[in-house]
Each structure stands twice: as C-alpha cells, then as structure tokens.
Amino acid sequence: MPFKQAVEEVWLNQHSYVEESTLRRIVYIHGEAAEALERTEVERLEREAPSAKATPRRLFASADGALIQLTTGEWTEVKTMAVGEFAGIWNAKKGRIQVKGKEISYFSRSYRAREFERYALAELQRRGIDNAEQVVTINDGAEWIQSFADYHFPKAVRILDFSHALDYISKAGQSVWGEGTKRFKQWYRHMRHQLKHHPPQRTLADLALLSRKAKTDEALAAVDNALRYLSKRLELIDYPHFQEQGLPIGSGSVESSHKVVVQSRMKRGGMRWAEAHIDPLLALRNLVVNGRWVEGWPQIVAFHWRRRRQKTIELARRQRPSGPPITFDAENVASSSVKESKPAPKPKKSKHPYRPAPDHPWRRGIWPS
C-alpha cells in the first residue's frame, strides 16, 4: 500500500505513530535486503546446481514489460515473468474446454534483459521448471523475451500470444477498409475465426490478397508489415494445433500481472519513483503477491542484520591501527624509558571571593535576574 496509507494502518493496528520518512527508509532498507537475498540464492544455485523439489506436470511461463515514470520525468520498463500450472476446465456455458492457469507466481525487476534472465532463475527453480513434463511459453514477439526462453527453457513449446497476432491483422485491415467501418468489422470477424480454427497459411494468403486492395503507400506498408511479421513466426501461430493439445494460446496471465504486481502499487496517480527504489520495492511486492511473506520476511530480517554486523566488523578492522600488536613487555619498556615528570602545581585559591567589576553588565541591569 502507499506510504501515507501505511502510516494510518500502523496507527490503527498498533496504536503507534511512525513518520512517513521513517517508514520509507525501513521499507527500502529491507527491500534492498530482499533483493540481495534473491541474488545470493541465484549465485548459490549456479554454484551448486541442486535439483528442484517441485515436480509439476504442465507449466507455462510468460514474460512482458510495463512502463513506470521516474522522478526525472523519464519512463523505465519493469519486466515481469509469470509462471504457473495450467489445466483444461469444462465451460458449460460455452460448451467446450477452456485452458486456465493456477498457482501463478511472479518475478519483477527493472533489470536489463541479460540481468533479468539470470536472476529469474530462483523463482523458476522454486516452481520446478526442470522437472515439468511439459513447458509452454506464450509471449509476444519481442527479442528479449525470445532470448529469455532460449536461456531457461529452450525445449518449451513456443506460442505467439493470440491477441498480439490479431493486433497486426487489425492494423492491416484498418489501413485498407477504414477504422470502425462495417466492411472492416466483417473482415476482422472472419479473420479472427480463421486464425483461431484453421491453419495459419489461410490467414497469410488472405493478407496477401488484401495487399492488392491497398490504395495508399501507408496501407500497403501496414499490410506488408503484418504479413512479414506473421510469416517469420508461422510455427508460433498454429493455434488449431495448440488447442487440440490443450495448450493455452493467450498471455493474459502475465498481462494481468502488470496490474497485480506493478500498477496497483507503483503506477497510481501522481506517483514518481527514484531509480534506486524500484527493485527493492518490487522484491517485497513479489513476496506479497506470491503468498510467501510469512516465510520470506524472517529470512530478510536475519539477512539484513547479518550484513549490518559484517559491515560493522569490516569498518572496525579498517580503523584498527597498523603495526605489530602491543604486548605487556612493550608497555613496560615504554613506561621505563619515559622520565618521570613532576606534577604541575595546583593553582592557588584566592582568599577573597569573586566580585563583579563596577561596570559589569550584571550591575548595570542588562542581564536578567
């Protein structure tokens, strides 16, 4: 929750008032500890390579990015990975089986792509990505997301998000038929059904026919862009085949994670963030939304105080004087070599008590009584 709201919550629950600045400092300090603890865990996994304990049957993993505004006025991308199990559930109203995800967990950071790839390992290890019988990744066509899949699960079934593919088709149709026209709506409805229930070659053939009807260079460029983009990803848009296998074809889980993890806390009205404060807060947010706060908070506190003690010890070592250690013999030799000096004479006490001079401010009434 926002810091101002948290101050009120502490007062209502604990009957104790905490300054907002103090609350911010405590949150960021422990957020940094949570982030450092996650990094330490990844380094341990890379060094020891232990086997995961979880043994899921079917897992999906998706990644995407969302923008938040910095205090400088610029925008930065927060990358989020969503991983969870999926299964087919019968929908009586629609009369068919729908694939839905469950037990979804998240990993969110503002790291660069390579750094994000590396430190997402801890969450994937907890979910047992290596022990899963089948792994599916549903994403858009961004290069860093495909690189993320190559890094962690190269043998996973890759699917281009259905809505993302439809966006390219929609832009191509709007450029030719016009946005919101009756002809475009009919064409788009046909293309949507065809892409979902028929081989993708039909959709590409219809886009090729649409390019002949383009009357402007802008319309032709939009159709060619959609045709080129989908042709390169032909294996990723075979949605009838994926549905027959009971696989999900949409990345709604990771898109909704932007609201759950990032936007609900960090993208409210008027919020701006210092770049150094983003990842510590995201580390704590992941604990909350993943349902591991009770388990993770004691570890964070212990890790924080352990690091603080180590810093204190290192600082004391740096301030320690250099040279050989001091012994009793050295002290005796040093004391014997120093000549005994006579104590300084004590000042003589005045016989008369001190009296202020005639022109003293106290006598003139300047000082208060």
pLDDT per residue as tens digits for the range 30-43: 999 999 999 999 99
Q: What are phi and psi of 178, to 5 degrees?
A: 100, 140
Residue 117 has pLDDT above 60, yes or no: yes
pLDDT tens for residues 162-193? Answer: 999 999 999 999 999 998 899 999 999 999 99
Of residues 353 and 303, the one with the higher pLDDT is 303
Residue type, 275: E
Q: Which residues does residue 139 pair with via DSSP β-bridges, in sequence order?
A: 160
349 is a domain residue? no
Q: What are phi and psi of 206, to 5 degrees?
A: -65, -35
Q: Please tell me whether residues 136 and 24 are part of one structural domain.
A: yes
Please report the sign of the dihedral spanned by the C-alpha atoms of residue 177, residue 178, residue 180, residue 181. Answer: negative
pLDDT tier for residue 111 given thresholds of 50, 70 and 90 = very high
Helix (H, G, I), strand (E, B) or coil at 53: coil
Reading the block at residue 25, the tokens are 């400092």
Q: Please tell me whether residues 87 and 128 are part of one structural domain.
A: yes
pLDDT tens for residues 193-246? Answer: 999 999 999 999 999 999 888 889 999 999 999 999 999 999 999 999 999 998
Q: Please tell me whether residues 201 and 129 are part of one structural domain.
A: no
User: Are 106 and 122 spatial neighbours (Cβ–Cβ below 8 Å)?
Assistant: no
Mean pLDDT of 43-52: 93
Q: Please tell me whether residues 33 and 180 are part of one structural domain.
A: no
pLDDT at residue 367, rounded to an integer? 59
User: Are 256 and 80 spatial neighbours (Cβ–Cβ below 8 Å)?
Assistant: no
Residues 6+ apart with CB under 8 A from 55: 128, 131, 132
pLDDT at residue 356, rounded to an integer? 72
Q: Please tell me whether residues 209 and 265 are part of one structural domain.
A: no
pLDDT at residue 352, rounded to an integer? 60
324 is a domain residue? no
pLDDT tens for residues 254-263? Answer: 778 888 889 8
Q: Which domain holds residue 44?
A: 3-161+250-308
Q: Please tell me whether residues 66 and 97 are part of one structural domain.
A: yes
Q: Of 268, 293, 308, at which residue does a domain stop?
A: 308
Q: Please tell me whether residues 102 and 225 are part of one structural domain.
A: no
Helix (H, G, I), strand (E, B) or coil at 179: coil
pLDDT tens for residues 150-162? Answer: 999 999 999 999 9
Q: Please tell me whether residues 93 and 173 are part of one structural domain.
A: no
347 is a domain residue? no
332 is a domain residue? no
Q: How many whole angstroms separate alpha carbon 307 and alpha carbon 35?
A: 13
Helices (H), 162-216: 162-177, 182-197, 200-211
Q: Which helix (H) or strand (E) holds 348?
A: none
pLDDT at residue 205, rounded to an integer? 94
Q: How many whole angstroms separate alpha carbon 195 and alpha carbon 203?
A: 6
Angle 182-197/200-211 helices, nearest 10 degrees? 150
Q: Please tell me whether residues 156 and 179 are part of one structural domain.
A: no
pLDDT at residue 11, rounded to an integer? 92
Chain position carrying tokens 């059904």: 193
Q: Of 237, 268, 292, at which residue does a domain stop?
A: 237
| CA-angle at 95, arms to 244 and 237, nearest 5° | 30
Average pLDDT, the chain: 88
350 is a domain residue? no
335 is a domain residue? no
Pairing of strands 75-91, 134-139: unpaired
Q: What is the DSSP letter of 359?
A: T
In the sheet where 96-109 sits, what is the strand order? Answer: 96-109, 75-91, 58-69, 134-139, 157-160
Helix (H, G, I), strand (E, B) or coil at 67: strand
Q: Please tell me whether residues 81 and 168 are part of one structural domain.
A: no
Q: What is the DSSP letter of 358?
A: T
Q: Which helix (H) or strand (E) holds 38?
A: helix 20-48
365 is a domain residue? no
The CA-to-CA distance between both ends of the chain, in Å, stands at 56
% the chain with pLDDT above 70: 89
pLDDT at residue 321, rounded to an integer? 67
Q: What is the DSSP letter of 260?
A: I
128: left (phi over 0), alpha (psi -120 to 50) or beta: left
Q: Please tell me whether residues 150 and 200 are part of one structural domain.
A: no
Q: Of 237, 258, 284, at which residue does a domain stop?
A: 237
pLDDT tens for residues 133-149? Answer: 999 999 988 889 999 99
194 is a domain residue? yes
How many domains are contained in the chain? 2
Q: How many whole angstroms separate alpha carbon 140 and alpha carbon 251?
A: 8
Pairing of strands 58-69, 134-139: parallel
Mean pLDDT of 259-279: 91
Q: Please tell me whether residues 174 and 157 are part of one structural domain.
A: no
pLDDT at residue 286, rounded to an integer? 95
